[in-house]
Structure 1
Amino acid sequence: MSETPDDGRPVVALTGATGFIGAALSEHLVRAGYRVRALYRPRRGRVMHSASGLKWIAGDLDDKDALAAVMDGAHAVIHCAGSVRGASQADFDRVNERGVINTVEAALLAPSCERFLLISSLAAREPQLSDYARSKHLGEQALAARAGRLTWAAIRPPAVYGPGDREMLPLFQGMARGIAAIPGAGDGRFSLIHVADLASAVVAWLGTEGASGAIYELDDGHARGYDWDTVLGTAAQVLRDGAPIRRLHIPVPVLRFVARANRLGARLFGYAPMLTPGKVREITHADWVSNSAPFMQATGWQPAVPFREGLAQTLGKPLTALNGTPP
């Protein structure tokens, strides 16, 4: 069943809808009563099926005609598309900065479009750490400089997890087997958020009239973030019936060596590496704790998925009542 024209539901344009976060966003937006126009990159063998409330538009962030089609009749834009892999600063900037510029310009050409929400990253708070972090920071700056008449905001989620995630899943699967690979000394603190809470935050922003130009951090409401003791204690109860999880610390020099080899290999063979020297600086940074209080005040949003419940969902484990377990 395709999108029904002019059925009274507001239209939201969505980029990055085929990714882990984007897929959750499209589902939550349709459930909340929006019609979604979603941009996807066509490739051989890929067939996207439009459904009630969801219409797919083929194209990419450099395709002005496709961006115009996505924006047609849209009241708001959720720009979720981004690149987390790259061999150089230019690789990240092409998507995470230039992609924002192209999408904003397309939104400004659509008379119906009034609002623009950028899904950024907590890494943008520390642009000196990596090419990725800098590119996300540049994307935020590009939006601020070019938004014009649009009411805009940017959301900086911390590490996002949940069913369908591929980035954090290997870590959680290792925990389920009794081993946790921890980068460096593992003495930092960090926030987490379940993908359903991130999606509900987007819906909350769409439903709130607020001032333009805010950059918000998000988290799952766990005060002062997490340390590895708390995460592993929770994982031991949820995934292993209380059996301990052994820490496997990976020394920073080893991470740096692998990252340099990755970068060299990327230049020689033309692939986009995940672990780079910048990524090592990111994952060993001491403070990735978010403060979602300003967003909660502005929108009334509240996170609903504690880590214990979200971890069980992610691994498909039944969640039983356990007294005295970490949150």
Structure 2
Amino acid sequence: MNDLADSGHPVIALTGATGFIGTALRERLVAAGYRVRALYRPRPGRVLENAPGVKWIAGDLNDRDALAALVKGADAVVHCAGNVRGARAADFDVVNEAGVIDIVRAAREESHCHRFLLVSSLAAREPQLSDYSRSKWLGERALAAHAGDLVWAALRPPAVYGPGDREMLPLFQSMARGIAPIPGSGDGRFSLIHVSDLASAIVAWLRSDTQSGQTFELDDGHAGGYDWDTVLSAASRVLRDNAPIRRLLIPTPLLRAIAGANRTAARVFGYAPMLTPGKVRELTHADWVCDGRAFTRATGWTPEIGFERGLAATLGNTVTH
């Protein structure tokens, strides 16, 4: 493959293209007839070969030359890249805020590019909870401040799951064994979305004629979100032939103690932790319910994958009812 822009098909510049969401989206875009320029982070021994419909661009979000190559001839940018691990606020801000500014500026400098979609997070709705949620909120504000004449939108998906996900898979596997470790009191409500539905929503936005400057929440269409009783009941049917799943509540004080020690150790030894005090506040927040109807009205998109079907697909099972 040489110049994707010469193919006659719309070209999408995609960041985060090797991640869980980015991989599903890359495949969906190609299947939908788009050509994808995909940014990936180079490291020793890592060379990604171009494939039909995909041209790989090596570089980071702070690499101006790589970003210019990424957006060259692109009709739109979909920015999926983000950082979910860190011991300090700066660990998140350098990617989730500054990275947005860098890729938006590159898009504005490419005369052919007119649209920009930021894949944010529902966490941005509660920026006070954690360094991560604040950084996603700052990324949305950075997009609004620097987008100029670009037609832009930000998507706030809730917890995303599906084949290839590493974050929720351990929970689902534990449920299949009959135990559900649940952070805090287990009294909160939350929305979910399957990665395939998220990818189809992004394609719907690219094909739509929505107004610029909108922020949308997305979900799988389950009104009012889920509680743990509903999730465990569904998991029992799908994974255990209706055998019960026992709750294992992990007290919030214990989570805080572990998270505090983890953050201190991460700062000393220089690794990027997942469980931090901020992450505990996210996990135990009572309301992560969202409503995707505004996005449906704007684009015509509707979710197709409910939790039972999505759970079965994630673990390689088949729902027959």
**Common fold by TM > 0.5:** yes
Query: After the TM superposition, which segments of 4 or more aligned residues of structure 1 sit over 6 Å from their partners?
Result: none
Return the letter of the residue paired with 1:136.
K
Cα distance in 1 for partners of 2:178, 2:155 equals 34
TM-score computed with the length of structure 1 as normaliser: 0.97
Cα distance in 2 for partners of 1:173, 1:3 equals 43
Q: Which runs of 5+ in 1 are unaligned?
A: 322-327
Deviation at 1:7, TM superposition (A): 1.7
Structure 1 residues 50-89: aligned runs within 5 Å = 50-89=50-89
Note if 1:224 corresponds to 2:186. Answer: no
Return the letter of the residue paired with 2:186.
G
Deviation at 1:6, TM superposition (A): 1.1
- State the identity as a percent: 71
Cα distance in 2 for partners of 1:244, 1:45 equals 46
Counterpart residue number, 2:159: 159
Counterpart residue number, 1:92: 92
Counterpart residue number, 1:28: 28
Counterpart residue number, 1:121: 121
Cα distance in 1 for partners of 2:3, 2:218 equals 32
Cα distance in 1 for partners of 2:45, 2:201 equals 34
Deviation at 1:3, TM superposition (A): 6.0
1:2 touches 1:51 (CA, 8 Å); kept in 2? no
Structure 1 residues 175-324: aligned runs within 5 Å = 175-321=175-321
Cα distance in 1 for partners of 2:268, 2:25 equals 37
Deviation at 1:248, TM superposition (A): 0.3
User: Aligned to 1:37, what secondary structure does the other structure show?
Assistant: strand
Note if 1:170 corresponds to 2:173. Answer: no
Cα distance in 2 for partners of 1:224, 1:3 equals 46
2:4 touches 2:55 (CA, 8 Å); kept in 1? no
Deviation at 1:319, TM superposition (A): 1.4
Indicate how the Cα distance of structure 1 residues 97 and 108 shifts in structure 2: closer, same or farther if over 3 A, else same.
same
User: Aligned to 1:116, what secondary structure does the other structure show?
Assistant: strand
User: Aligned to 1:248, what secondary structure does the other structure show?
Assistant: strand
Q: What is the number of equivalent residue pairs in this alignment?
A: 321
Indicate how the Cα distance of structure 1 residues 3 and 111 shifts in structure 2: closer, same or farther if over 3 A, else same.
closer
Return the letter of the residue paired with 2:202.
V
Cα distance in 2 for partners of 1:53, 1:239 equals 37
- Structure 1, residues 23-51: CA drift from partner, whole Å, max 9, x if none? 01100001111000000000112121111
1:2 touches 1:52 (CA, 8 Å); kept in 2? no
Deviation at 1:2, TM superposition (A): 5.9
Q: CA RMSD in A?
A: 0.8
Cα distance in 2 for partners of 1:154, 1:49 equals 30
- Structure 1, residues 143-183: CA drift from partner, whole Å, max 9, x if none? 00010010000000000000000000000000000000000
1:182 touches 1:249 (CA, 8 Å); kept in 2? yes
